[in-house]
Homo-oligomer: A and B are copies of this chain.
């Protein structure tokens, strides 16, 4: 099967399983047949997959003592490194860097201003040596000064054209096939799936529905301040160069409360930035699920954890082990990495 056909075949199967699971109207024979269709075909038959399926069955099967009403079936997913890759740099930063190059002609002053001067001379490493402050400045100038509508269009144009430097694929293709299946499997079992990411909320919303099946109102992320204005009598929302909310670390449970107002019963992450979200999900009563994607496959994806500057997984890995959370060993648990295969 061609890679592209395989992708569609996998998506089709995940969607079919989801649809069948949703439907209470099918006769019993059809349901029995469904049970034999694997909703998670890209997951190897390991303890990880079993833990996921066991959790979902415990909280959703009629008659289960741990049954959770559909309205409370909230699952939250980190994005970078959990739903899509994040190497060699966060994809949103790649977007911002591309924008700096495009905007440079309108900003002659950047030639003498860091981190822009180094960036425009092609010295990415030098520009990013300024750490979070440099990244914050790059993100701020590229994510403000336009309306929310204009920004959405800019991101849509980028996400449908820009290519990843290593794979040559669209960034939106570099999503994890097993996680797409997991999203569909949970939704098929009455879960509402949310993205809760340190990434920009408006950035992710521009593609989350098409790529993940997660509508804008179920995306929680970092944000800048907005201003409501009438421009020629038409209302607009201007994106201001000022941080509104940082949806990372302890910000994640706060973002969850602000947006969702319910404690998730399942949460999925991959780094120390997700620790508090996973603690928050596990902290409620009843059966709860916390999962960490551990990047262990240098060949098919990337291998990194405790000492990585991107997606650092150190304390959360210790907590996961101590608390018995589910840890995905990407190398052994995932049959497929990306819809198109692997790196």
Which residues of chain A have a CB within 8 Å of any CB of chain B? Answer: 25, 71, 74, 148, 192, 194, 201-202, 205, 209, 215-219, 223, 226-228, 230, 234-237, 244, 250, 253-254, 257-262, 276, 279-280, 283
Contacts and interface: CB of A to CB of B under 8 A. Distances in A.
B219 A261 contact: yes
Given A71-B209, A209-B71, A228-B276, A237 B257 contact: yes
Contacts of A253: 228, 235, 237
A226 B254 contact: yes
The dominant DSSP class at the A interface is: mixed
Nearest to A219: B261
Nearest to A280: B235
Given A228-B253, A253-B235, A260 B217 contact: yes
B260 A228 contact: no
A228 B261 contact: no
B261 A216 contact: yes
B201 A258 contact: yes
A262 B150 CA distance: 13
A226 B257 contact: yes
The list of the 10 closest CB pairs from A to B, nearest first, reads A216-B261, A235-B283, A228-B250, A217-B260, A205-B261, A226-B254, A235-B279, A228-B253, A235-B280, A216-B262
Contact of A280 (B25, B201, B228): B228
Contacts of A194: 217
A259 B257 contact: no
A193 to B, nearest CB: 12
21 contacts: A25-B25, A74-B217, A201-B258, A201-B261, A205-B261, A216-B260, A216-B261, A217-B218, A217-B259, A217-B261, A219-B261, A223-B258, A226-B254, A228-B250, A228-B280, A230-B279, A234-B283, A235-B283, A237-B253, A237-B257, A259-B259
Contacts of A261: 201-202, 205, 216-217, 219
